[in-house]
Amino acid sequence: MIKINKRIVSEHGISEDEFKLIKEILQREPNLLELGIFSVMWSEHCSYKSTKKWLKTLPTSGEKVICGPGENAGIIDIGDNEAIVFKMESHNHPSFIEPYQGAATGVGGIMRDVFTMGARPIANLNSLRFGSPKHPKTKQLLSGVIKGIGDYGNCVGIPTVGGECDFHESYNNNILVNAMCIGLVKKNKIFYSIAKGSGNPIIYVGAKTGRDGIHGATMASAEFDDHSEDSRPQVQVGDPFMEKLLLESCQELMKEDAIIAIQDMGAAGLTSSSFEMASKGSCGVKLFLDKVPCREDKMTPYEMMLSETQERMLMVIKPSKIKSTLRVFKKWGLEAAEIGVITKTGNMEIFFNNSLVGNLPIKPLADSSPEYDRPSEKPFIKFKKENHKNFSIKSALIKIISSPNHSSKKWIYHQYDRSVMCDTYFSSEQSDSAVIRVHNSSKAIAVTCDCNPIYCNSDPKLGAEIGVAESWRNLIASGAEPIAITDNLNFGNPEKKEIMYQIKEAIKGIKTACEALNYPVVSGNVSLYNETKNKSIFPTPVIGGVGVIKNISRSKGLRMNEGDKIFIVGNSHGHLELSEFNRICNKNYGSPPPLDLKEEIKNGTFVRNFMKKHNSIVTGCHDISEGGIILALAELAIRNEKGLNIKIPSNVKNSKNWLFGEDQSRYLLIVNNEDIIKKVAKKENIKLQEIATVGGDKFCIIKKFEISVKKLIKYNNIWFENFIET
Amino acid sequence: MPKKVVSIVVFPGSNCDRDLDIAVQKYMNVNTELVWHDDPNIKNQEMIFIPGGFSFGDYLRSGALATKSPAMKEVIRLSKKGVPIIGICNGFQILTECKLLDGALIDNCKRLFICKENFVKIENKNTPFTKNIHKNVVQFPIAHAQGRFYTSEDNLKRLEDNNQIVFKYSSRDGKINKSENPNGSMNNIAGIINKNKNILGLMPHPERAVNFSEDNDGISFFRGLQNLL
């Protein structure tokens, strides 16, 4: 037996204080297996030890919330005995080391979180951040990640309908891959992970356990260095076919009254799934590791407990249903085994070769996981001195629409099956949020992912608030009632004061905006230590927003017709600091635009009600965000292949500021009747400005410049084509 | 009169079976029976569909493993008796792997999965599968990684001489040229039939073109199949 020494303890990422606590809990020294279990259960990834204190402050309940954070995913009520299950999760570190498998298994993991709860996944989204396009690794990472996401979702047959993909040098050595999945479930057919009933059998099903991914959760909780690529064996390999079989067999089994509790084996594999189920049900577990289906010879209990082999599930089954359960899995060609039993002891007793090889108290291990109030300090942001550039309106617009972040993402989304399942009404290039019909109904779900790390880096609280508000706005613009969010908090090393400051402030921002907008957080994920060689990524709290559309015909997307008029809803002040415009001019300093949540609600409510009451008048709707009014208009022209005649209001003093300013809480409404919208806006005291008429084949700003829409489209397509093909 | 019943063969990894099932029931006015791959008997022999997806994960070659299923052996037997058979996407791949249809479907020219709306010209309207479609060009989405039709020059000539090429990727107005070819298929081929005209394979997905609007072209495709029953 290996003797536990200081070196082994520190190799497991356990601090001296934590090791002391372990000995207190056990009243003895742990053996290697037990130490391994503690290390994954108490890793940042599984225990949220640096953020728990702050996450607790987030609003998580509401009229429509069925299940908040803590389960496999969050659940909201959408009426008619139906519910939506959703969550976002990161797979950043594995995707940097092995982009194809890292991204693929990220998608697989989040889908299992959703279908574990009884839901059928109906859409996938992803939020991606890559390094500078000039960085030598970026192209290969981009290709691998996109193919990994596509191949996995396409094979399982779940449409990938949207997301975001940005490039920034702060991600050069630490890309972000955040995958989101939403699923549909009958309200009375939701499954939870609360183990119950002493004597009930524990069934293992899915892929055989191998040595892949051992200590993946610990890896996700450490910084990168030059040798990080040596940790490739810690990256798991995805098998979407196995996932499809698991999905269908679970759906079939869920129709029978067999499952008491179910949990997928994600990060920290058999360890976290068994501990979490038992801890939630306040019961004990006996595991017989000899019965675990193994892919490789001579696997040790340590390896079996910590393996992160993908596409595996653990469930507690009613004893009377064992036979029918095994029959279902056999039909789908899946390996299933009874590997344990629920007990009353409150302990995890692990047996191997007829001897007890590990014995841990479940509640204390789960409940007394460390919780830190780490010190924080506002960082001083140094700005690089750069030579400022100047652009005309026309050349700035062309520069922005042909820039990596704003050029057409066709190359990406063409690799995603967006039409399988036949319920995709809009994927996210057609509308501010993706719109998915609720099968066999006239209802739909709108879903979007948003974050502006540039804003967050300058002011994490305001930046996060804007992220929440933008997702809310994107849902409104698609005709939806915003319901709830999932968040994926990506930050650097929390042991550094300035990073901890970013984390605390961002969570404060999310809290402020979610409370004001009545937009609770129902699930989420935290990814820390996104650093390489001491250099952190920009703070990136990604918001995944979900809304409901009562009648799908209310959702208009980015459409516009010849002769329509376009109006700006909301106040335009011309805030240029940190805007796309200032950034192309090399002015990378300043503050994000201010956000008035009262105004956000006022404008949003106006747009939503107007789209509802005057459905036939509204042709389309688009929110105004990065790039300001002019980019929002250009996107409409490109999307519809139609011209616009744009007239800047006569009282505008500085047209550059006005066109490119990124003031918040604004929308473009495209209507076929100008009188009614003017009347309603006046009555409700909403700021409304006419900006453009749809027509012709030119994008024309009267008295400034014009450019053919064909040319705009060409500029919009050119960057990705060149980047990938050269 | 009770509705007629058509069969849809389902493999582990099929993922367009539900979409196809819905379209067939709704627009062909029939009932369906889903035949699990290991079933050697296909009771309902009015018409057989092989749906899209990734049968057995497509881990060997797309469609290759599915050819060994008991249900496929029965499909092969019934095909000789003239039973109408339609394979869509992975179904087309399976039919070529079984040699029920000519040629092979290889990696798209850019070696990437491609999903987009595409126009398809009906090259041969004189087939039982296409004679009731009024339009000359239809819009069906495609979604595949291996959809590039390939065969020998001799075979290609034979297919053309026998009018076995049914669908070609085209522009909105039916022009057939390289820029409208999404995957590098020989001569823009998107779908073919066998010599006896009872087996159709196509890469585009008509079952995905039946939603949200009554004008969608998948509807006329399925309605048009009713005359085969």
Contact B57 A421 (CB under 8 A): no
Give the pLDDT confidence score for residue A503 in this predicted structure. 98
ipTM confidence score = 0.97
Q: Which sequence spans correspond to the domains of chain B?
A: 5-228
- Chain A residues 235-274 with CB within 8 Å of chain B: 239-242, 244-245, 248
Give the pLDDT band of residue B7 (cuts 50, 70, 90). Answer: very high
Letter for the amino acid at A63?
E
- Chain B residues 154-193 with CB within 8 Å of chain A: none
Chain B interface test: which of A160, A419, A441 (most B C-beta within 10 Å): A419
Give the pLDDT band of residue A83 (cuts 50, 70, 90). Answer: very high
Query: CA-CA distance, B23 to A527, in Å (whole number)?
Result: 43
Contact B113 A154 (CB under 8 A): yes
pLDDT tens column, A264-296:
998 889 999 999 999 999 999 999 999 999 999
**What chain A residue is nearest to B210 in terms of C-alpha separation?**
A422
Active site residues of B: 89, 205, 207
Residues of B in contact with A332 (CB under 8 A): 12
pLDDT tens column, A335-381:
999 999 999 999 999 999 999 999 999 998 887 888 999 999 999 88
Contact A421 B18 (CB under 8 A): yes
Q: Over 80: is that where the pLDDT of A214 sits? A: no
The mean per-residue pLDDT over the stretch A652-679 comes to 97
Give the residues across from A224 on adjacent strands: A532
Give the pLDDT confidence score for residue A221 in this predicted structure. 59
Q: How far is B64 from chain A (nearest CA, A)?
A: 15
Q: Over 80: is that where the pLDDT of A384 sits? A: no
A13 vs A44, A51, A304, A493, CA distance in Å? 10, 17, 19, 14
* Torsion sign across C-alpha atoms A603, A604, A605, A606: positive
A696 vs A401, A559, A646, A705, CA distance in Å? 20, 15, 12, 15
B115 vs A151, A240, A417: nearest CB: A417
Q: Over 90: is that where the pLDDT of A385 sits? A: no
Q: Over 80: is that where the pLDDT of A625 sits? A: yes
Give the pLDDT confidence score for residue B83 in this predicted structure. 97
The mean per-residue pLDDT over the stretch A297-312 comes to 93
Q: Over 60: is that where the pLDDT of A16 sits? A: yes
Q: Does B113 touch chain A (CB under 8 A)?
A: yes
What is the reported pTM? 0.96
DSSP-assigned states of every residue in A534-563: TEEPPPEEEEEEEEEESSGGG--TT---TT
Contact B12 A244 (CB under 8 A): yes
Give the pLDDT confidence score for residue A223 in this predicted structure. 67
Residues of A in contact with B211 (CB under 8 A): 422-423, 437
Give the pLDDT confidence score for residue A225 in this predicted structure. 63
Helix (H, G, I), strand (E, B) or coil at A8: helix
**What chain B residue is nearest to A419 in terms of C-alpha separation?**
B208
Give the pLDDT confidence score for residue A550 in this predicted structure. 96
Share of chain A above pLDDT 70, in %: 97
**What chain A residue is nearest to B212 in terms of C-alpha separation?**
A425
Contact B112 A155 (CB under 8 A): no
**What chain B residue is nearest to A441 in terms of C-alpha separation?**
B212
Query: CA-CA distance, B37 to B20, in Å (whole number)?
Result: 16
Give the pLDDT band of residue A726 (cuts 50, 70, 90). Answer: confident
Letter for the amino acid at A115?
F
Query: CA-CA distance, A40 to A304, in Å (whole number)?
Result: 13
Chain A interface test: which of B10, B11, B15 (most A C-beta within 10 Å): B15
CB proximity list for A419: less than 8 A, separation 6 or greater: A159, B115, B141, B143, B205, B208
Q: How far is A331 from chain B (nearest CA, A)?
A: 10
Query: CA-CA distance, A723 to A410, in Å (whole number)?
Result: 13
Lowest average pLDDT, out of A225-234, A519-528, B16-25, B173-182, goes to: A225-234
Q: Does A143 touch chain B (CB under 8 A)?
A: no
The mean per-residue pLDDT over the stretch A631-646 comes to 98
B16 vs A150, A156, A420: nearest CB: A420
Contact B54 A415 (CB under 8 A): no
Q: How far is B192 from chain A (nearest CA, A)?
A: 23
**What chain B residue is nearest to A426 in terms of C-alpha separation?**
B212
Q: Does A332 touch chain B (CB under 8 A)?
A: yes
Share of chain B above pLDDT 90, in %: 97
Give the pLDDT band of residue A219 (cuts 50, 70, 90). Answer: low
pLDDT tens column, A249-258:
999 999 998 9
Q: Does B35 touch chain A (CB under 8 A)?
A: no
Give the pLDDT band of residue A226 (cuts 50, 70, 90). Answer: low
B12 vs A156, A245, A422: nearest CB: A245
Letter for the amino acid at A350?
I
**What chain A residue is nearest to B113 in terms of C-alpha separation?**
A415
Give the relative orientation of helices A32-41 and A269-280 as an angle to the nearest 10 degrees: 70
The mean per-residue pLDDT over the stretch A661-665 comes to 98
Give the pLDDT confidence score for residue A224 in this predicted structure. 62
Q: Does B15 touch chain A (CB under 8 A)?
A: yes
Give residue for tokens 């090889």: A357
Give the pLDDT confidence score for residue A382 in this predicted structure. 79
Give the pLDDT confidence score for residue A217 in this predicted structure. 56
Query: CA-CA distance, A445 to B35, in Å (whole number)?
Result: 32
Q: Does B77 touch chain A (CB under 8 A)?
A: no
Q: Does B129 touch chain A (CB under 8 A)?
A: no
DSSP state of A69: B
CB proximity list for A23: less than 8 A, separation 6 or greater: A29, A30
Q: How far is A418 from chain B (nearest CA, A)?
A: 7
Compute the residue count for chain B.
229
Q: Which CATH class is domain B5-228?
A: alpha beta
User: What DSSP element (H or E) covers A708?
Assistant: strand A705-708
- 8 Å CB contact between B206 and B221: yes
Give the pLDDT band of residue A231 (cuts 50, 70, 90). Answer: low
Q: How many CA atoms lie within 13 A of A319 on its CB side?
A: 8
Give the pLDDT confidence score for residue A213 in this predicted structure. 73
Query: CA-CA distance, A436 to A549, in Å (whole number)?
Result: 9
Share of chain A above pLDDT 90, in %: 90
Contact A244 B54 (CB under 8 A): yes
The mean per-residue pLDDT over the stretch A107-120 comes to 97
Give the pLDDT confidence score for residue A45 in this predicted structure. 85
Give the pLDDT band of residue A540 (cuts 50, 70, 90). Answer: very high
Chain mean pLDDT for chain A: 95
Nearest alpha carbon to residue B103 among B194, B197, B182, B16: B194
SS (H, E, C) A434-483: EEEECCCCCCEEEEEEECCHHHHHHCHHHHHHHHHHHHHHHHHHCCCEEE
Rg (C-alpha) for chain B, rounded Å, is: 16
CB proximity list for A572: less than 8 A, separation 6 or greater: A629, A658, A661, A663, A666, A689
Q: Where are the alpha helices (DSSP H) in B119-228?
A: 153-161, 217-225
Query: CA-CA distance, A18 to A496, in Å (whole number)?
Result: 19
